[in-house]
């Protein structure tokens, strides 16, 4: 049996030597990081699609009204008009704030010389430190629905003051400024390039209150331009890189039509409406018990900034806090005016929506297109009737709601997007029963097409 014993000895030594070699290789092994970094599934740096925006760049008035005694005009948000107003406000240095009487409350009979800024949602009082030149410890108001820059009468320490209106608390606070009346007049004339005469109306009166939700509605036809833009589709690749912690584990699943889903098992990103809308959700997170460290508007601003930025002009138009989840919506604006409807189903085609639970963002949706920098050179103007004709149309032609249900009325854009072309047409909208409704009242349009060389086309 010597042969068998020799074989056993040989096998035993082979095992011992193999074990020694493997132990050495394991103890001296280093991963080939460079090779992994160059692999096909590695992270690819993608430039930001949009741009980062500061907090104040997302706050935007829904209306600016110029007051000259009992004469009032709606300042059209043409171009950067409203942005220039907001930037000028930041230059106003305020040293104090004091409570004034209800005689400064909004009402149809209030008259003054100056300018009134109205916001869709009440701003937090603390935000004033970013909107005007005032220290945080000087701010006494909790919420701000309207900002009024007005000439003052005798007995005040300055010629021009700023008033801040809190409709919920029914309070008005006033701060003197170093601005002169001539400065205010020059500023008003500079931004009021397009104006329409309006009248103050209270559509839903508050009982037993001096603070009425005054709306300013046109008493003459409104002329607005139709804009046509080329659009560019936004690919989902960059969002996969930032919305998921490890893109290598993300898998794509195709659904009906051209829709698709991406998931890593805990997060999900859906491309819906044939890839026109991104919807991101984290179903692994439930209602958070943590107290948020900042407002939902501020948290949304930082989240979008960190996930490929803001495309086109989006401004905060609604937000809610205090329930299980906090939500903020940012509506797309074109040439300063908001979009309230489109030929596609749902507002997700023209709004960015962010939902937070505790301190975590759990839902995020946005359109997946952006406009080219300049519109086509097609000069089409639409003449919309005054609000009196809108009221008559609602009473005679609309059955969805009675005229008494209307709380607000606005001229805004309807977006019609077909393939890569988007057309923005100004139309009348009224706010009733919790949403904006388009009113298809008769309108007149004049079209003048301009070629690239500047010549008119017959």
| Residue ranges covered by each domain of the chain | 55-216, 235-366
Q: How confident is the model at residue 290 (pLDDT cuts 50, 70, 90)?
A: confident
User: Does 235-366 carry CATH code 3.30.310.160?
Assistant: yes
Task: Provide the pLDDT for residue 156.
Answer: 60
What is the per-residue pLDDT for 43?
43
Which residues have a Cβ under 8 Å from the Cβ of 143 and sit 6 or more positions away?
122, 123, 124, 125, 166, 167, 168, 169
Read off the pLDDT of each residue in 189-216 and give the average, rounded to a whole number: 88
Q: What is the CA radius of gyration of the chain?
A: 30
Distance of CA 106 to CAs 111, 137, 155, 235, Å?
10, 26, 22, 47
Model pLDDT, residue 370: 95
pLDDT score at 361: 94
Q: What percent of the chain has pLDDT over 90?
A: 63
| Residues 114 and 180: beta-carbon distance below 8 Å | no
Binned at pLDDT 50, 70 and 90, residue 316 comes out as very high
Say if residue 121's pLDDT is above 80: yes
Mean pLDDT (whole number) for 297-315: 95
Q: What pLDDT is stored for residue 369 in this prediction?
A: 95
pLDDT value at position 78?
Answer: 82
Task: Kindly tell me if the per-residue pLDDT of 353 is higher than 60.
Answer: yes
Could you read off the pLDDT of 373-404 as tens digits, one per residue?
999 998 899 999 999 999 999 999 888 899 99
Would you state the pLDDT for residue 23? 55
> Percentages helix, strand, coil for the chain, rounded to the nearest 5?
25, 40, 35
Q: How far apart are CA 17 and CA 78, in angstroms?
A: 83
pLDDT of 452 above 80: no
What does the pLDDT average to over 367-374? Answer: 94
Q: How many CA atoms lie within 13 A of 119 on its CB side?
A: 23
Residue-averaged pLDDT of the chain: 85
Give pLDDT, residue 291. Answer: 78
**pLDDT over 90 at 141, yes or no:** yes
255-264: Cβ within 8 A, 24+ apart: 262/236
Q: Which of 31-35, 86-90, 181-185, 336-340 has the lowest mean pLDDT?
A: 31-35
């Amino acid at each position: 049996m010597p042969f068998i014993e020799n074989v056993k000895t040989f096998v035993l030594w082979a095992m011992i030597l193999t074990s020694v070699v493997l132990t050495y290789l394991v103890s001296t092994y280093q991963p080939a990081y460079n090779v992994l970094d160059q692999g096909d599934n590695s992270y690819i740096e993608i430039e930001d699609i949009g741009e980062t925006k500061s907090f104040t760049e997302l706050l935007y008035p829904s209306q600016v009204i110029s007051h000259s005694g009992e004469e009032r005009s709606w300042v059209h948000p043409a171009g950067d008009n409203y942005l220039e107003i907001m930037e000028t406000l930041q230059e106003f240095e305020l040293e104090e704030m004091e409570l004034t009487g209800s005689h400064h409350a909004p009402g149809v009979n209030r008259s003054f010389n100056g300018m009134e800024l109205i916001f869709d949602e009440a701003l937090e009082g603390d935000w004033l430190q970013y909107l005007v030149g005032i220290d945080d410890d000087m701010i006494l108001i909790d919420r701000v629905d309207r900002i009024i820059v007005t000439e003052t009468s005798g007995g005040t320490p300055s010629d021009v003051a700023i008033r801040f209106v809190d409709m919920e608390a029914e309070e008005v606070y006033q701060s003197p400024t170093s601005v002169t009346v001539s400065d205010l007049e020059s500023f008003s004339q500079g931004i009021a390039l397009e104006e329409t005469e309006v009248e103050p109306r209270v559509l839903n009166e508050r009982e037993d209150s001096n603070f009425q939700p005054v709306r300013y509605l046109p008493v003459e036809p409104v002329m607005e331009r139709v804009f046509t833009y080329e659009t560019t589709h936004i690919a989902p690749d960059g969002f996969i890189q930032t919305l998921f912690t490890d893109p290598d584990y993300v898998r794509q699943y195709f659904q009906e039509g051209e829709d698709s889903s991406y998931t890593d098992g805990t997060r999900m990103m859906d491309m819906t409406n044939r890839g026109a809308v991104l919807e991101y959700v984290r179903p692994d997170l439930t209602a958070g018990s943590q107290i948020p460290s900042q407002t939902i508007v501020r948290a949304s601003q930082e989240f979008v900034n960190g996930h490929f930025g803001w495309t086109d002009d989006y401004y905060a138009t609604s937000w809610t806090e205090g329930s299980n989840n906090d939500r903020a919506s940012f509506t797309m604006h074109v040439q300063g005016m908001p979009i309230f409807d489109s030929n596609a189903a749902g507002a997700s085609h023209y709004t960015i929506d962010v939902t937070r639970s505790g301190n975590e963002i759990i839902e995020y949706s946005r359109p997946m297109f952006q406009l080219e920098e300049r519109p086509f050179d097609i000069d089409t103007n639409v003449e919309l009737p005054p609000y009196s004709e809108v009221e008559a149309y609602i009473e005679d032609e609309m059955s969805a709601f009675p005229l008494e249900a209307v709380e607000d009325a606005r001229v805004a854009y309807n977006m019609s997007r077909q393939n890569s072309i988007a057309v923005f047409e100004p139309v009348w909208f009224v706010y009733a029963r919790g949403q904006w409704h388009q009113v298809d009242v008769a309108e007149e349009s004049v079209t003048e097409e301009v070629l690239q060389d500047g010549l008119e086309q017959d």
